[in-house]
Amino acid sequence: MDGGGESGLAAAASSAAPLLAPEARRRFRQGCPGCRLDEVNKTNTGVPYLNFFYIWVVCLTAALPIQSLFPYLYFMIRDLKVAKEEQDIGFYAGFVGATYFLGRTISAVPWGMFADKYGRKPCIVISILSVIVFNTLFGLSTTYWMAIVTRGLLGLLCGILGPIKAYASEVCRKEHQALGISLVTSSRAIALVIGPAIGGFLAQPAQKYPNLFSEDSIFGRFPYFLPCFVISLLAAGSCIACIWLPETLHFHDDDKAESIEELEAQVRGSESTKNLLKNWQLMSAIILYCVFSLHDTAYLEIFSLWAVSSRKFQGLSLTSQDVGTVLAFSGFGVLVYQLAIYPFLAKYVGPIKTFRPAAILSIILLSMYPFMANLHGMELKILITMASVLKNMFAATITIACNILQNTAVTQEQRGVANGISVTLMSMFKAVAPAAAGILFSWAQKHISGLFLPGNQILFLMLNMVSVIGLVLTFKPFFSLPNSTRHS
């Protein structure tokens, strides 16, 4: 789950860390947009609601393409006729899902450097323009390689994740920074609801809504263009909103003393990174975070493919609309859980004590998934929706606990670098997960019988093994609990 893996304290701190280094003392410089904004924030003590609204819209539209394709990805690969057999669809779908995360992993650091040198606003605008262009082209894909390339370029050029969090912290006064960053993470959580709904309900419109869309129209000839087109229209609206976003970067050279301070800070940061890599409390927490991020991303890929695959391969034969509904309900359920239920759970039980029970319950729940193929109709839809909501609630509980463990394992001054290491490694695991999941899914469909277990049960067993590995890593000698959380 993209929003679960990247949401919360760790993702916010890490993505923004390179862009939020301690500032040296600055004098006001005429014509510098950063100085001008600082002066505005000195006089305006209120919350900059309009700027925050623009940030929320920009983050939402940038996150929508991540989740929207999963309800229809199986059908899209089938229609592109790249798979020689139906069982090979999952293999090819996995690489389409992986290319976005791979592109984002490669470009994350360069985009941070670009935003530090040329400004946050150009980075944000280019990222939104990439959504408009490459998300639209993805919907118009006529070949498998066109889908791969456009999806990869979207991940490569949409470098908004780190800079937008830095921007949300810089555009307001210090007392409003937490609200700004929370808007970024909440918008991505909303995308977990809206994205699958758009993909599920708007894909193949000529088949679903023949009275509105004919087979000869562009939406009939390109059945997966409409959901991409709608998201691109929303992105175009948010790109227009960027006109009113002020730049926050200071475009002037600091004096010699300040430059020396920054150079010394960089040297200290390099030494700090080396020390953090030797901090086993931190690294054990990061390893857990990476393992469960891999599991969550692989689960989303496998679930989306399995739910729409044929009954003859022990799938559920659901439509893209059904899958979009299930994923949207799951996203909404997690949002409600995080806002209304989890705070009370953390208050009375503690955030760390919920970790292992959530992992165990997730393993038990996932082991029941293959048997849902014996259900039909409304009974199946209700049960799979409830199971999906619970699964994502357990995943959110684990992710939040991992974030807390990482941030309590280091001092406040080290958290930026520590979370930078965390998200870099997590992104690499997320890039591998969809491709590995697609290969495993394709193999399982080719081995429905003839092994010690049916292929679909082996599929979920292998997925559960990732959680089992994560669970084992929570015990000594693999895991060292930070002192501040021993009694949580």
pLDDT (tens digit per residue) in 283-322: 888 899 899 999 999 999 999 999 999 998 889 999 999 9
Average pLDDT of the segment spanning 365-389: 93
Q: Give pLDDT tens digits for 338-356.
A: 878 887 887 788 767 888 8
What's the structural domain count of the chain? 2
Average pLDDT of the segment spanning 68-73: 93
Q: Tokens for 107? A: 């470009």
Residue 24 belongs to a domain: no
Q: How far apart are the first and last CA of the chain?
A: 26
Residue 9 belongs to a domain: no
C-alpha 430, offset from chain centre? 9
Query: In 256-376, which ranges are continuous DSSP H helix?
Result: 256-277, 280-308, 320-336, 342-348, 355-367
Residue 16 has pLDDT above 50, yes or no: no
Tell me what percent of the residues of the chain surpass a pLDDT of 70: 85
- CA proximity to 286, closest of 468, 397, 418: 418
- Residue 2: the pLDDT is 53
Residue 225 and residue 288 share a domain: no
How far is the C-alpha of 383 from the C-alpha of 132, rounded, in Å? Answer: 37
Q: pLDDT band at residue 191, thresholds of 50, 70 and 90? A: confident
Max intra-chain CA distance, the chain: 76
Q: Tokens for 375? A: 């259900």
Residue 246 has pLDDT above 60, yes or no: yes
Q: What integer best gives the mean pLDDT of the chain?
A: 83
Residues contacting 450, CB < 8 A, separation 6+: none
Among 217, 249, 281, residue at a domain's last position = 249
Residue 356 and residue 229 share a domain: no
pTM for the model: 0.81
Residue whose token pair is 């209120």:
46
Q: What share of the chain is helix, strand, coil (3-state, %, to 5)?
A: 80, 0, 20
- Residue 52: the pLDDT is 87
Average pLDDT of the segment spanning 21-46: 71
Residue 239 and residue 299 share a domain: no
Q: Tokens for 308? A: 């729409």
- Residue 120: the pLDDT is 86
The CA-atom distances, in angstroms, between 53 and each of 57, 147, 173, 238 are 6, 32, 16, 10
Residue 256 belongs to a domain: no
Q: Which domain holds residue 243?
A: 32-249
Among 249, 284, 299, residue at a domain's last position = 249
Cβ neighbours around 175 below 10 Å, total: 9
Residue 258 belongs to a domain: no
Residue 386 and residue 420 share a domain: yes
Average pLDDT of the segment spanning 230-252: 88
How far is the C-alpha of 326 from the C-alpha of 319, rounded, in Å? Answer: 11
How far is the C-alpha of 204 from the C-alpha of 364, rounded, in Å? Answer: 35
- Residue 416: the pLDDT is 59
71 burial type by CB count under 10 A (0-12 exposed, 13-18 middle, 19+ buried): buried
Cα angle 221, 227, 232 (rounded to 5 degrees) comes to 110
Length of the chain: 488
How far is the C-alpha of 12 from the C-alpha of 18, rounded, in Å? Answer: 12
Q: pLDDT band at residue 119, thresholds of 50, 70 and 90? A: confident
Residue 19 belongs to a domain: no
Residue 352 and residue 315 share a domain: yes
Supply the DSSP symbol for 246. P
- Residue 351: the pLDDT is 67
Residue 413 has pLDDT above 70, yes or no: no
Cβ neighbours around 90 below 10 Å, total: 30
DSSP 269-286: HHHHHHHHHT-HHHHHHH
C-alpha 215, offset from chain centre? 34
Residue whose token pair is 């993805």:
138
DSSP 116-140: HHH-HHHHHHHHHHHIIIIIHHHHT
Cβ neighbours around 232 below 10 Å, total: 24
How far is the C-alpha of 158 from the C-alpha of 125, rounded, in Å? Answer: 9
Q: pLDDT band at residue 417, thresholds of 50, 70 and 90? A: low
Residue 276 and residue 215 share a domain: no
Residue 220 and residue 344 share a domain: no
Number of helices (H), then strands (E), in the chain: 22, 0
Residue 277 has pLDDT above 70, yes or no: yes
Q: Are 384 and 372 in contact (CB under 8 A)?
A: yes
Residue 434 belongs to a domain: yes
Q: Tokens for 20? A: 């939020």
- Residue 145: the pLDDT is 96
C-alpha 88, offset from chain centre? 26
Residue 152 and residue 108 share a domain: yes
Residue 77 and residue 206 share a domain: yes
Residue 303 and residue 425 share a domain: yes
Residues contacting 14, CB < 8 A, separation 6+: 416, 418, 419, 420, 421, 422, 423
Q: Are 2 and 66 in contact (CB under 8 A)?
A: yes
Residue 443 and residue 394 share a domain: yes
What SS3 state is found at 449? coil
How far is the C-alpha of 436 from the C-alpha of 102, rounded, in Å? Answer: 13
- CA proximity to 127, closest of 149, 108, 144, 140: 108
HEC-encoded secondary structure of 384-435: HHHHHHHHHHHHHHHHHHHHHHHHHCCCHHHHHHHHHHHHHHHHHHHHHHHH
Residue 227 has pLDDT above 60, yes or no: yes
C-alpha 53, offset from chain centre? 21
- Residue 346: the pLDDT is 76
Tell me which of 91 and 275 has the higher pLDDT: 91
How far is the C-alpha of 71 from the C-alpha of 373, rounded, in Å? Answer: 18
CATH of the domain at 343: 1.20.1250.20
Residue 5 belongs to a domain: no
Q: pLDDT band at residue 229, thresholds of 50, 70 and 90? A: very high
Tell me which of 126 and 335 has the higher pLDDT: 126
Residue 17 belongs to a domain: no
Residue 276 and residue 146 share a domain: no
